[in-house]
Chain A
């Protein structure tokens, strides 16, 4: 075989190997390859539309000085006024916020609902709550982008339930229901 043919053969072999590698490599998935359930929750810190300071870490720290039955479970809900799924779930969130969760012994488990506006304007958020009701703390402003990325949020609505220990025990992509939240809480 002449050197020229050798060179051609080497180029052909390299090209084929390259194509094979690309073909057998893991294909890009359009589905999230992350799952925060079982991991410690990122912090949720910022200012609400009413000017209150919101700090998830503070709630979790306060839990340490309480007996388990009095420790607070936190639901962090990413929502937006432009999102139809957020309107769908709003009634269930209202129920969670107003009624809380009652365990089998009839004891009300301490819960806290925190909203985080996702890619939304403060005025639109206020208008959303004026129309649909609810007065739980909602983080608005520029910090919301960082919080959404910390939770690997894809779109609204997404809800994370955080146990008193700080571990995420539930992640719901799409509208959340009162039942899904309540059945994941025990105290």
Chain B
């Protein structure tokens, strides 16, 4: 019983540790030093071709997409930050060319809502499990009922043994 409880607790700790390790690697790992070609490729895949239907410039062969790809590379090489480069294309072609949602205003919901929903879901699950455990505890027999069950069992078992003797005779 104790072993099973310990095992269950250990599995929860392991699960939590795995979750947070993945979260940290996912968020911090990316911010490491990137080559300018990687940065340019990343930007090209998140800036929409102004002449196409929401297709990133990295995937479009439209002339303007080729121009933007070449210019993104120049901008990265000239030391502009990702935010400055995105801002440049938003200014020139409108906010919609930035395929990454912003982190202010209503767009912040895109980033926050998954965590919010996950939090509410986990909270709900914890509540549900704790209620079920409480309900299990509530079902335990009272001393009086336990005594009664014991009596019935004794009566039943003695009846069974009598019947066994009769059968043998």
Q: Which residues of A contact B (CB under 8 A)?
A: 2-4, 6-8, 10-11, 14-15, 18, 21, 25, 28-30, 32-34, 80, 82, 118-119, 142, 145-146, 148-150, 152-156
Instruction: Please tell me if the beta carbons of A11 and B117 are within 8 angstroms of each other in the complex.
Output: yes
Chain B interface helix/strand/loop/mixed: helix
Instruction: Please tell me if the beta carbons of B124 and A119 are within 8 angstroms of each other in the complex.
Output: no
Whole-angstrom distance between the Cβ of A94 and the nearest chain B Cβ: 24
Among the listed A14, A82, A118, which residue makes an inter-chain contact with B117, where contact means beta carbons less than 8 Å apart? A14
| Cα(A29)–Cα(B97), bound, Å | 10
Instruction: Please tell me if the beta carbons of A8 and B124 are within 8 angstroms of each other in the complex.
Output: yes
Chain B residue contacts of A18, Cβ below 8 A: 109, 113
| Cα(A15)–Cα(B54), bound, Å | 24
| Cα(A29)–Cα(B120), bound, Å | 35
Chain A residue contacts of B123, Cβ below 8 A: 7
18 contacts between A and B (CB under 8 A): A3-B128, A7-B120, A7-B123, A7-B124, A7-B127, A10-B120, A11-B120, A18-B113, A21-B106, A28-B48, A32-B94, A82-B63, A119-B63, A145-B70, A148-B64, A148-B67, A153-B64, A154-B51
| Cα(A153)–Cα(B62), bound, Å | 12
Instruction: Please tell me if the beta carbons of A3 and B109 are within 8 angstroms of each other in the complex.
Output: no
Q: Which residue of A lies closest to B66 (CB)?
A: A119
